Amino acid sequence: MKTTGRPRLLLAIFLCASALGSQAGAQSPKLRVAYTAFAGTFTILWVGKDAGLYQKYGADMELLYIGSSTKSVQALLGGDIDIVYSAAGAVVDANLAGADLSMIGCQYDKGQTSFFTTANVASIGDLKGKAVGVTRFGAFSDFVARHVLKKNRLQPIKDVALLQLGGTQEIIAGMQNNLVQGGSISLPLTFNARKLGFRELLMTEAINLPFDYGCFIVKQSALKTKREEMKRVLRATIAAYDHAIADPGFAKRTIGKYTRTADAAILDETYKENVKDYALRIPYVSVAGLNSILEFRSETDAEVKKLARQKIYDNSLLQEIAKESAK
């Protein structure tokens, strides 16, 4: 009897353990997170992944590169991914089209870029009657161009032409060929622009553009069904920021890995700007940054004014984390 009962007991224990393991796995599946560019603004996300911090905090993730915020949002709405890491404009555009998305945190609240002009343009005022290049209408470069021109009392389109050129490399090429005389250029391509002798008229602080990006974008339904998982993501992101600050060497190696850059000067400046200078340790969504984007979008689509701001973002998860940390 003892001989017969022992295998049965072992089998029962094995089946029970297997069932528990399956349940645990079902409770904490790997999150699929899409990022949209190989740029320094994704540094904290990359550091968190490569340092194993998302896994450590119970939010193990699979990073997927989808080189377009529009395509990433489509994948999110279709259930192919769980989170999009991109700019706030992606949420505004999607919700304007009838989606139900929300931002639960943004790593940056200020647009990081420089505004360059050709050598013969010594001030923004000198651009009157000339042209500025943008990657596409509605993109960050378009946002920056219009912001800079208006701050200097120039009307986009009326006083200064805006030409869609497709990409930042194309803006640089357009300036080389005098097709355009200015444009927004960000790291690491600022190095190329400087080497070519273009004027770096304005940098991030002088442009002073409130802008939310590096945002965790989710379906609003996930705020109920996956709330704890989303909080784990945010806790790990805060830990990733701390790790990047404490270990610059690791952060720079991570930047180099994803951007395929070995140039020490580029890595140093990318780290400085995207971690030390502008990354937020507690990545609350900035209302000022969101309002700036909404105002920009409303210039071409009056329906934007009807969007409920409180549904576009939700800082409550970070607020809960802050309360938990204070205990």
Per-residue model confidence as pLDDT tens digits over 51-69:
999 999 999 899 999 988 8
94/77 Cα distance (integer angstroms): 10
93 with 121, same domain: the answer is: no
Q: Has residue 256 been placed in a domain? A: yes
Residue 310: give its domain's CATH number: 3.40.190.10
pLDDT category of residue 310 using cuts at 50, 70 and 90: confident
* Structure confidence by residue, pLDDT tens digits, 103-143: 999 999 999 999 999 999 999 999 999 999 999 888 889 99
pLDDT value at residue 286: 96
152 with 106, same domain: the answer is: no
Please count the structural domains in the chain.
Answer: 2
Q: Give the tokens for residue 96.
A: 């304007």
Among 161, 186, 207, the domain boundary falls at: 207
* Residue 107 DSSP class: E
* Structure confidence by residue, pLDDT tens digits, 153-208: 999 999 999 999 988 999 999 999 999 999 999 988 999 999 999 999 999 999 99
211/255 Cα distance (integer angstroms): 22
Among 207, 227, 260, the domain boundary falls at: 207
145 with 100, same domain: the answer is: no
- Containing 164, the helix (H) or strand (E) segment is strand 161-164
100 with 215, same domain: the answer is: yes
Q: Has residue 12 been placed in a domain? A: no
β-bridge partners, 63 = 33
Kindly list the distances between the CA atom of residue 271 and the CA atoms of 116, 178, 200, 209, in Å, as whole numbers in the listed order: 21, 32, 20, 20
Q: Has residue 146 been placed in a domain? A: yes
Determine the distance from the C-alpha atom of residue 99 to the mean position of all C-alpha atoms in its chain, rounded to a whole number.
19
Q: Has residue 69 been placed in a domain? A: yes
277 with 197, same domain: the answer is: no
* Structure confidence by residue, pLDDT tens digits, 12-28: 434 443 433 333 333 45
* Residue 312 DSSP class: H
205/134 Cα distance (integer angstroms): 20
pLDDT value at residue 11: 40
The proportion of the chain whose per-residue pLDDT surpasses 90, expressed as a percent, equals 77
65/77 Cα distance (integer angstroms): 16
Number of helices (H) and strands (E) in the chain: give both, helices first.
Answer: 16, 10
Q: Has residue 23 been placed in a domain? A: no
264 with 304, same domain: the answer is: yes
* Structure confidence by residue, pLDDT tens digits, 79-101: 999 999 999 989 999 999 999 99
294/305 Cα distance (integer angstroms): 8
Determine the distance from the C-alpha atom of residue 108 to the mean position of all C-alpha atoms in its chain, rounded to a whole number.
8
Parent domain of 176: 114-207
pLDDT value at residue 326: 83
225 with 265, same domain: the answer is: yes
Q: Has residue 21 been placed in a domain? A: no
178 with 69, same domain: the answer is: no
CA dihedral of residues 245, 288, 66, 253 (deg, nearest 10)? -10
Q: Measured over all CA atoms, what is the biggest interatomic distance in the chain, rounded to whole angstroms? A: 98
Q: Has residue 6 been placed in a domain? A: no
Among 207, 222, 245, the domain boundary falls at: 207
pLDDT value at residue 17: 38
169/157 Cα distance (integer angstroms): 22
147 with 169, same domain: the answer is: yes
pLDDT value at residue 28: 56
Task: Give me the chain's average pLDDT, please.
Answer: 90
228 with 288, same domain: the answer is: yes
- Containing 283, the helix (H) or strand (E) segment is none
What secondary structure does DSSP assign to 251-282, as a single string?
HHHHHHHHHT---HHHHHHHHIIIIIIT--SS
